[in-house]
């Protein structure tokens, strides 16, 4: 199976600064890596994803990078805003597991004014 580790567990940044969250995975056969944002009491929402044949993907202020050799991927949020405050989860899907995702432990991001 897959094991996903996520760091840091909490992250506090000033508004306008960048935030970086890192994840590592264990199964080299994993090929899909989504990131979810979850606000308190709500469902996780997909914010960006990357497949193993791509090294980097960007969508406005959000970017994800993937290093297959090192088996880690990172979420980068630039020009952070208070509404970015939430819990962020990385996840990985390995080819032997059908479509199921294994989630990281989550990062509580707080953007301070």
Partner 1 sequence: GAVVSQHPSWVICKSGTSVKIECRSLDFQATTMFWYRQFPKQSLMLMATSNEGSKATYEQGVEKDKFLINHASLTLSTLTVTSAHPEDSSFYICSAVTGAYNSPLHFGNGTRLTVT
Residues between 74 and 93 with contacts to partner 1, criterion CB under 8 A: 89, 93
For β-strands 107-112 and 10-14, DSSP reports them as parallel
Nearer of residues 63 and 104 to partner 1, judged by Cβ: 104
Nearer of residues 32 and 78 to partner 1, judged by Cβ: 32
Phi, psi of 95 (to 5 degrees): -65, -25
Nearer of residues 15 and 39 to partner 1, judged by Cβ: 39
Interface with partner 1, residue 26, by CB under 8 A:
no
Interface with partner 1, residue 44, by CB under 8 A:
yes
Task: Identify which range of 39-47, 56-64, 69-77, 78-86 contacts partner 1 by CB under 8 A.
Answer: 39-47
Taking CB under 8 A as the criterion, the residue among 3, 28, 67, 105 binding partner 1 is 105
């Amino acid at each position: 199976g897959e094991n996903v580790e996520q760091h840091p567990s909490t992250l506090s940044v000033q508004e306008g600064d960048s935030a970086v969250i890192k994840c590592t995975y264990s199964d080299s056969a994993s090929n899909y890596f989504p990131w979810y944002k979850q606000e308190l009491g709500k469902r996780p929402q997909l914010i960006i994803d990357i497949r193993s044949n791509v090294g980097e993907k960007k969508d406005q202020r959000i970017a994800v990078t993937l290093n297959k050799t090192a088996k880690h991927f990172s979420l980068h949020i630039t020009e952070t805003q208070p509404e970015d405050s939430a819990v962020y989860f990385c996840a990985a899907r390995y080819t032997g597991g059908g479509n199921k995702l294994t989630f990281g432990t989550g990062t509580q991001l707080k953007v301070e004014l």
